[in-house]
Amino acid sequence: MYRYVIQRLLQGIIVLFLVSIATFGILQAAPGNPVETMLGEGATQLTQEDYDRLLQKWGLDKPWYEQYFTWLGNFVTGDFGQSMVRAGVPVHEMVLEAAWPTIQLTSLSLAFAILVALPAGMIAAIRRYSIFDSGIMVWASAGIALPNFWVGLMLIILLALYLGWLPPSGGGDWKHYIMPVFVLAINETAVLARLMRGAMLEVLGQDYITTARAKGLREYVVIVRHAVRNALLPIVTVVGLRMAFLLSGTVVVESIFAWPGIGQLFITSVNRSDYQVVQAIVVLFTVLVIVANIVTDLTYAIIDPRIRLN
Amino acid sequence: MSEDTTAIGRILNRFEGTNRRDFLKRSVIMGATVPTFATLLAACGGDDDDDDDDDDDGGDESDSGDPTATTQRSVPTSAVGGQPTPTEEEMTDDATATEDGGGGEEEPTATEEDSGGGDEGQQGGTLILMGHHEIASLSPDDAGPTVHWVMVTQIHNALVELDPWYVLQPTLAESFEVSEDGMTYTFNLVQGAPFHDGEEFTSADVKYTFDFYRDPENAMLTASNFNGITDVEASDDYTVVISLEGPNAAFLSRAGQAFIVPEHHHSAIGEDAYKSDPMGTGPFSVREYRAAEFTEVEAFPDHFRGAPLLDAVRERIVPEPSVRTIELETGEADSSVWALVTEDNLRLRDSGDFVTYQTSSVACNHFPMNNERPYFADREVRRALMYALDRDLIVDELWEGLAVKATGNISPALDFYYEPDVTEYPYDPDLAIETLENAGWVAGSDGVREKDGVRLEWTLAVIAGDQARRPEAEFAQESWNAIGCNVSIEDTTAASSGMRDGTHDMAIYNWTYGGGSGEPDGSNTLRSDALNNFSKYKSEQMDELLDAGLRETDPDARKEIYSEVQKLVAEDVPFIYVKYWDWFNFYNPRVKGLPDSVLSGGTLYSMAYTMWKEEE
């Protein structure tokens, strides 16, 4: 098992390298640079000489591969560099500062999704073809189909503008959490509910369930102890893999709800060509996804003894 | 200062021994206005940090029956440009609205321009503003992006500052004198203006700021504003003498408006740390700075113009324009410093629920085109493109009439410098075709015109997601294809750099070509060697005119020069100039102390210290 983990980690490092070089290349290919961003709307008096000096200051006058290897060299030694737009601020500080709001948002959303989706999927499977089942599945399809920025805006209009129950955006008390957590969770909830339903249906058709019932076990015990436990297997895998989707969802949700997390930092940094920050966030997300995958595989092996990690 | 009988001297002599109000009036006469703010409005198209769907706010010129009593329509033919629209004679000592806009430097009572008409200024309230991206820095060097500037201006002051009527107001300078040759400025500074830590502001701070900013070693973003300064001398605590390498009509507008940082603080912590720990003489000092979430500044009771009425100003970051609208509608925020989407602008304005300022842009909406491309190198082609484009239709249909058709590089809003008598290009596709035919561009087998193996074929770059300007680009594409061109549209993430580095053939930008806050100089966009000469337009005649314009300080003589500039632009068509659009700023009516009307809605945020908020 250790060998497996080490092997996966090594693969992860290669992935990380490829992702970082691709990100760097894309950023370089996109016109614009952080200097222009900071010059902002008042840059009309700039001379070429001054402009060149600014590029030089940030090493932007060097060829892209040289810039990349400078970055890589620093990164290997644990230095993410400084933001060019928030000049002088170490990137790791910015990312850490933004991490907490995002961790709050994603973990609450995930918890919400699991708490809602699993029972809903279970009930839909047990009461198959009932109105309840159809209702959940229609809702789940909608949850997958509706883009979260649209749902977010509609909710803001309804709950903040028309009803005045919740603040439209920003941080603060618990009321500020409701809409962003819900919106980020919608897609996840829908996916998990559908999956749970499918998994339960499959399990419920298995011989050992029939056996359990034949033994005279109470339906509750059959469902909870025999069916759910087995149905949870694919769910665990998916929850791990869905972390990546959840993180990408924060980019949109955080922008709409003015949530000062990593998603917003990411989009701000892309817009402002703040290479170092974008690079750091991409690397961070990649690491999270790689780790989530490995952890998922390990968890899978632990809860299903039939799986061997070789 | 000795008596001078030259035109420059006569004007500058007037500044001698003036009081603040006189200074103010005369800065109008001088045309002593500053590019900073119009460029705020300007760069939207070309700038990286824009919501490009935001920046095209139109204003309804055909105001349908004044939808709201609180809507203030600024007439485009007003005193933008700091020119004698209110003539010297007209500007009597009785304050006109324009004059008092400065907030009454010596007694900053908001009541002077109170929209409520006579309410007493009350103490209290937190003004909640919204920006669209994080406030990456609070240093004056980083005040280029509007969202930053709005907070930097609360914290700092400059020698002279632009007011919402495009007039330079004496701020940390009480008055100034200019030498006979126009190359030495002597500023007399205010006394008893403390920084936020209680240290008094003196000439040493001015010298320090100027010297630090213009030092190439420091590679400051705003270093260009200090070009042409040869020496800064603090002759005594309250006098600063600045020497220039030559007379420069734009000096006051540029370096004069530099925010002053305290030497003792800035030199101790350095520029990088200063970005998040700024200190100035401004009416508000930093209370809490969270770049990505909000920045809050609190009233500085010892501010030299008097304690601000508000308790605090907070700028929240709300990236999504629709959400900013809702924040305004729910009363969670008082004003959005960055634009909303056009539909929301019109809706909010017509709702009558907000104090609305609708002001004209001095930035030009235009298609820059690379004049070095063989097809655009032919002036007849550029002219033909003008004839082929129905710009009236763009204004009336695409912009719902919320713009003014451009006749050149200067907005008609700058009525003093605006030159209407130029070569015009009415919509006439037949004439466009004739122009091309006469120039030897004939249709090939596929209908695309060509000459000497060069085809009229190019790509028009549109910023991806730019919902506002894309229809305009598509309309232009159709119009030009109809006369035998082959234009394709390319989505780009680019801003100004695509044209600047020559990778794009053509784009659609909003940018100033002179006229920024009233300063008609367009050296940075029209000069052959200019960084922002997006169209790579090369004209010796233009270069000479622009240089002459900067050397000349007599407004009438300058007017002549910039009139020639506009004629030359219309003659040469270096870029396809389309229109000047309108800009909206909304305030929740609980914000008091607002003026009846302004010419620059953005600049009004610098007057937050004269506002207060009514309790609900």
Local structure of B405: helix, strand or coil: strand
Higher local confidence (pLDDT), A3 or B213: B213
Q: Which one of B221, B271, B314 would you mutate to disrupt binding with A, by most A Cβ within 10 Å of its Cβ?
A: B221
Averaged pLDDT for residues B229-235: 94
Cβ contact B145–A38 (<8 Å)? yes
Q: Kindly state whether residues A159 and A58 are assigned to the same domain.
A: no
Quote the CA–CA distance of B522 and B502 in Å, as a whole number.
20
CB of B292 less than 8 A from some CB of A: yes
Contact B340, B54 (CB under 8 A): yes
B116-164: per-residue pLDDT in tens?
344 566 778 999 999 998 898 999 998 888 899 999 999 999 999 988 8
Question: Which among A37, A47, A169 is the nearest to B224, CB-wise?
Answer: A47
Cβ contact A268–B292 (<8 Å)? yes
Quote the CA–CA distance of B494 and A32 in Å, as a whole number.
6
Smallest CA–CA distance, residue A46 to chain B, in Å, is 5
Chain A residues touching residue B529 (CB < 8 angstroms): 48
How many Å is the maximal CA-CA distance in chain B? 78
Cβ contact B317–A255 (<8 Å)? no
Q: What is the DSSP letter of B381?
A: H
Residues with Cβ < 8 Å from A226, sequence gap 6 or more?
Answer: A203, A208, A209, A212, A217
CA A6 to chain centre: 25
Q: Kindly state whether residues A39 and A146 are assigned to the same domain.
A: no
Q: Is the pLDDT of residue A86 over 70?
A: yes
Q: Kindly state whether residues A155 and A44 are assigned to the same domain.
A: no
Higher local confidence (pLDDT), B7 or B79: B7
Can you give the pLDDT at residue B474?
96
Residues with Cβ < 8 Å from A269, sequence gap 6 or more?
Answer: A83, A85, A277, A278, A281
Quote the CA–CA distance of B552 and B555 in Å, as a whole number.
8
Chain B residues touching residue A86 (CB < 8 angstroms): 134, 136-137, 275, 291
Cβ contact B40–A42 (<8 Å)? yes
From the CB of residue A131, how many other CB atoms can be counted at a distance below 10 Å? 8
Q: Is the pLDDT of residue A157 over 50?
A: yes
Q: Is the pLDDT of residue B28 over 80?
A: no
Can you give the pLDDT at residue B117?
40
Q: Cα-Cα-Cα-Cα dihedral of B274, B279, B284, B285, to 10°?
A: 70
Q: Which one of A41, A58, A254, A255 would you mutate to disrupt binding with B, by most B Cβ within 10 Å of its Cβ?
A: A41
Scanning B404-423 for CB atoms below 8 A from A yields: none
Can you give the pLDDT at residue B52?
33
pLDDT band at residue A116 using 50, 70 and 90 as cut-offs: very high
Q: Is the pLDDT of residue A160 over 60?
A: yes
Q: Is the pLDDT of residue B606 over 50?
A: yes
Burial tier of B412 (Cβ tally within 10 Å: 0-12, 13-18, 19+): buried
A88 in a domain, yes or no?
Answer: no
Can you give the pLDDT at residue A134?
92
A270-295: per-residue pLDDT in tens?
888 888 889 899 988 888 888 888 88
Quote the CA–CA distance of A309 and A3 in Å, as a whole number.
9
Q: What is the CATH number of the domain that holds A114?
A: 1.10.3720.10
For residue B221, what is the nearest residue in chain A, using CA coordinates? Answer: A39
B280-290: per-residue pLDDT in tens?
999 999 999 99
Local structure of A224: helix, strand or coil: helix
Quote the CA–CA distance of A168 and A157 in Å, as a whole number.
8
Cβ contact A169–B143 (<8 Å)? no
CB of B204 less than 8 A from some CB of A: no
Cβ contact A86–B137 (<8 Å)? yes
For residue A255, what is the nearest residue in chain B, using CA coordinates? Answer: B319
Q: Kindly state whether residues A44 and A166 are assigned to the same domain.
A: no
Residues with Cβ < 8 Å from B207, sequence gap 6 or more?
Answer: B232, B233, B234, B240
Q: Kindly state whether residues A163 and A299 are assigned to the same domain.
A: yes
Smallest CA–CA distance, residue A257 to chain B, in Å, is 7
From the CB of residue A33, how many other CB atoms can be counted at a distance below 10 Å? 23
Averaged pLDDT for residues B48-59: 32
Can you give the pLDDT at residue B471?
92
Cβ contact B498–A256 (<8 Å)? no
Quote the CA–CA distance of B351 and B333 in Å, as a whole number.
17
Smallest CA–CA distance, residue B5 to chain A, in Å, is 32
Averaged pLDDT for residues A201-212: 88
Give me chain A's average pLDDT, please.
Answer: 86
Q: Kindly state whether residues A200 and A276 are assigned to the same domain.
A: yes
Smallest CA–CA distance, residue B446 to chain A, in Å, is 33
Domain C-terminal end among A10, A43, A76: A76
Q: String of b and e for B14-44 (b: at least 16 CB within 10 Å)?
A: bbeebebbbbbbbbbbbbbbbbbbbbbbbbb
Can you give the pLDDT at residue B611?
95
B319-333: per-residue pLDDT in tens?
999 999 999 999 999
Structure tokens at B377: 């190198």
Cβ contact A53–B216 (<8 Å)? yes
A15 in a domain, yes or no?
Answer: yes
The reported pTM is 0.78
* Residue from A84, A44, A50 nearest B216 by CA: A50
Q: Kindly state whether residues A151 and A39 are assigned to the same domain.
A: no
pLDDT band at residue B262 using 50, 70 and 90 as cut-offs: very high
Can you give the pLDDT at residue B2?
37
Averaged pLDDT for residues A141-162: 92
Cβ contact B136–A264 (<8 Å)? no
Question: Which among B44, B144, B290 is the nearest to A43, CB-wise?
Answer: B144
Scanning B538-577 for CB atoms below 8 A from A yields: none
Q: Kindly state whether residues A276 and A176 are assigned to the same domain.
A: yes
Higher local confidence (pLDDT), A243 or B229: B229
Chain A residues touching residue B320 (CB < 8 angstroms): 153, 169, 255-256, 258
Q: Which one of B134, B225, B325 would you mutate to disrupt binding with A, by most A Cβ within 10 Å of its Cβ?
A: B134
Question: Which among A54, A156, A267 is the nearest to B326, CB-wise?
Answer: A156
Range scoring the smallest mean pLDDT among A108-117, A143-152, A225-234, B493-502: B493-502
Cβ contact B42–A54 (<8 Å)? no
For residue A263, what is the nearest residue in chain B, using CA coordinates? Answer: B292
CA B530 to chain centre: 18
Residues with Cβ < 8 Å from B558, sequence gap 6 or more?
Answer: B31, B249, B417, B520, B549, B552
Q: Kindly state whether residues A183 and A56 are assigned to the same domain.
A: no
Q: Kindly state whether residues A196 and A288 are assigned to the same domain.
A: yes
User: How many domains is chain A built from?
Assistant: 2
Smallest CA–CA distance, residue B490 to chain A, in Å, is 13
- Domain residues for A212? 95-309
Question: Which among B144, B272, B292 is the nearest to A42, CB-wise?
Answer: B144
A87 in a domain, yes or no?
Answer: no
Q: Kindly state whether residues A156 and A57 are assigned to the same domain.
A: no
Can you give the pLDDT at residue B456?
95
Q: Is the pLDDT of residue A162 over 80?
A: yes
A37-55: per-residue pLDDT in tens?
777 655 556 677 778 888 8
Averaged pLDDT for residues A174-202: 92
A293 in a domain, yes or no?
Answer: yes
Give me chain B's average pLDDT, please.
Answer: 80
Averaged pLDDT for residues B259-283: 96
Range scoring the smallest mean pLDDT among A138-147, B376-385, B427-436: A138-147
Higher local confidence (pLDDT), B190 or A220: B190
Chain B residues touching residue A164 (CB < 8 angstroms): 330
pLDDT band at residue B519 using 50, 70 and 90 as cut-offs: confident
CB of B44 less than 8 A from some CB of A: yes
B341-388: per-residue pLDDT in tens?
888 988 999 999 999 998 878 889 999 999 999 999 999 999 999 999
Cβ contact B532–A86 (<8 Å)? no
Chain B residues touching residue A271 (CB < 8 angstroms): 48-49, 133
Contact A53, B516 (CB under 8 A): no
Higher local confidence (pLDDT), B196 or A45: B196
Can you give the pLDDT at residue A44?
55
CA dihedral for A127, A128, A131, A137, sign (positive or negative): positive
Range scoring the smallest mean pLDDT among B7-16, B177-186, B410-419, B501-510: B7-16
Element (H, E) at B284: strand B284-290
Q: Kindly state whether residues A53 and A166 are assigned to the same domain.
A: no
For residue B363, what is the nearest residue in chain A, using CA coordinates? Answer: A41
B165-177: per-residue pLDDT in tens?
877 889 999 998 8
A140 in a domain, yes or no?
Answer: yes
Can you give the pLDDT at residue B72?
41
Quote the CA–CA distance of A256 and A250 in Å, as a whole number.
10
For residue A48, what is the nearest residue in chain B, using CA coordinates? Answer: B531
A268 in a domain, yes or no?
Answer: yes
Token pair 């968890």: residue:
A299
How many helices (DSSP H) and strands (DSSP E) are in chain A? 13, 0
Chain B residues touching residue A84 (CB < 8 angstroms): none
Three-state SS for B425-483 is CCCCHHHHHHHHHHCCCEECCCCCEEECCEECEEEEEEECCCCCCHHHHHHHHHHHHCC
Can you give the pLDDT at residue B493?
65
pLDDT band at residue A309 using 50, 70 and 90 as cut-offs: low
CB of B111 less than 8 A from some CB of A: no
* Residue from B542, B471, B480 nearest B508 by CA: B471
Cβ contact B532–A44 (<8 Å)? yes
CB of B314 less than 8 A from some CB of A: no
Can you give the pLDDT at residue B308?
95
A89 in a domain, yes or no?
Answer: no
Range scoring the smallest mean pLDDT among B57-61, B165-169, B515-519: B57-61
Chain B residues touching residue A256 (CB < 8 angstroms): 319-320, 323
% residues pLDDT > 70 (chain B): 79
A294 in a domain, yes or no?
Answer: yes
Which amino acid would we find at residue B576?
A: I
Q: Is the pLDDT of residue B66 over 70?
A: no
Quote the CA–CA distance of B427 and B425 in Å, as a whole number.
6
Smallest CA–CA distance, residue B347 to chain A, in Å, is 15
Q: Is the pLDDT of residue B264 over 90?
A: yes
Q: Which one of B55, B323, B336 would you mutate to disrupt binding with A, by most A Cβ within 10 Å of its Cβ?
A: B323
Question: Which among A43, A54, A272 is the nearest to B219, CB-wise?
Answer: A54
